[in-house]
Amino acid sequence: MDFMAVEIPLTVVYMQEDDTTLCDSAKFRHNCCFSWEFTDKSKLGGTTNYKSSYVGADTGRSQRKSSRVSDSDDDIFSTSSIGESSDLTVNQEVDEDLDKSAMLESHLDALYEKRSSTRESGLNAIMKAFTSSVQLEFAVRRNETLVHQYVSLIKHGSPSKAALAAHALGLLAVTLGASKITHQIIEESSPHLGRVAKLSSDVACRISALQSLAVVTFIGEADVERIEKTVDMLWQVGVHKGGSYADQASGITNPPPEAREAALYSWSFLLTKIPRQKVDSFLVKQTLPVLLSFLNTDVRAVCIAVGEAIAIIFETTGWINMDEIGFSVNSIRSESKKDNIARSSLSMEALTRRVIEQMRVLMAEAGGKGSSKKELNSQRSSFRELLAYIEDGIRPTTSVKLQNGDVLEIKTWSQRIQLNMFRRFLGGGFQKHMQ
């Protein structure tokens, strides 16, 4: 099979069965391990690896104001000569880059101000800039200061500032891609994001921490065991049923429905990065009964998140195609020495039937409390797609047209979950980051 790709500011990992091919293009600034296909193969360019020497250290606040112009000049002259341009065009580009760099520097300075509203305004402005465009050079030059300020706000700031700072950390990781810097972001921020994700009483802050932790880990962490630890933590938050006070064993407070939904989506998203051989039928048998219990909730958004989690564990383990992994009931019954496996298979069959029955009920009944007609139709459509996959193995297919005219083809649940997570996280900046 030929893999097709366009040049976008992301390094894309294309997966065919168990093989992984890393496709680097000259314009690929990131290394986000997506498994998406693009329809325009002709635009695929040569390969370029960003050297570690490109990653400069942050100069610190004391040097920022004095070096602002010189730093900006270095950035401009390192990237401005892409092709032949007139002197006027070059000068205009230089002026624009200087203006943007100076503006970002002023917003960064605002994070040190004593007035709370000034700090929040500066943080909002930086987030807006990082969402609306790829601020790669600024992120590289100022990464240490940005991470330090974001982590400080997560630890000591008000819930609103902590929520913004958590999201800003994820945006920084998306901008930098897989690199030593991003790994350092994980090292410095994960404990604090995890604490907020497990304990915060502010819903927006908790959701922001959950999503950011998943995004930063997805992009910057290569160690499977460490990814699994984060996956496990997200799972504990998503299925926790304790009281309003943190349980002594888990250190987690009961999440409100919105936070539970975010935790389950984040869990499914990060599970797509675990190698298939590490996600076996044991995980299915451990997680499916728990997920099944949450299909009875009145909050349909949580039900949909649960349904997608079920779909991804089936897809990851290959359980839908039982012959493929040796769990055919007929073949098992014919061999007495495999009685234990047969019992496991039949147990899974019973669980799967219960999932199907509950999803049929959800697809047929009215929406949850306060659901609009549009939301109800969306819920029914979601459960219809989930049933089609769980019953018949039919995967969802979606085409997403990008602003540059290219089309993104989504053909698996893993791809859809990845796409939806980055759409939610980047919001209006999704298209910008895909070009």
pLDDT of residue 36: 53
Query: pLDDT over 90 for what percent of the chain?
Result: 40
Contact 363, 384 (CB under 8 A): yes
Contact 152, 195 (CB under 8 A): no
197-201's contacts with Cβ under 8 Å and 24+ in sequence apart are 197/233, 197/234, 197/237, 197/263, 198/233, 198/236, 198/237, 198/246, 198/250, 198/251, 198/252, 198/253, 199/246, 199/251, 199/252, 199/253, 200/159, 200/162, 201/253
pLDDT for the residue numbered 185: 93
CB 419 within 8 A of CB 433: no
Residues 6+ apart with CB under 8 A from 253: 198, 199, 201, 240, 242, 243, 244, 245, 246
Distance CA 390, CA 150 (A): 42
* pLDDT of amino acid 251: 84
pLDDT in tens, 310-343: 999 888 887 654 433 333 323 323 333 344 433 3
> pLDDT by residue (tens digit) across 259-315?
999 999 999 999 999 988 787 766 777 888 899 999 888 888 999 999 999 999 888
61-80+91-274 CATH fold: Leucine-rich Repeat Variant (1.25.10)
- Give me the sign of the Cα torsion angle 423, 410, 385, 343: negative
**Residue 319 contacts by C-beta under 8 Å, 6 or more apart in sequence?**
281, 284, 313, 325, 327, 348, 352
What is the pLDDT at residue 81?
Answer: 40
pLDDT (0 to 100) of residue 406: 85
pLDDT score at 250: 73
**Residue ranges of domains in the chain:** 1-50+396-435, 61-80+91-274, 277-392
How does pLDDT run across 390-433, given as a tens digit for each residue? 888 888 888 888 887 888 889 999 999 999 999 999 998 888 88
Spell out a b/e string for 87-109, using b for 16 or more CB atoms within 10 Å of the CB, else e. eeeeeeeeeebbebbeebbebbb
DSSP 283-301: HHHHHHHHHHHHTT-S-HH
Residue 393's pLDDT is 87
Please give the DSSP secondary-structure letter assigned to residue 91.
H
SS3 334: coil
340 CA to centre of own chain: 38
Pick out the chain residues at pLDDT < 70. 1-98, 243-249, 281-282, 319-346, 366-371
pLDDT for 281 equals: 61
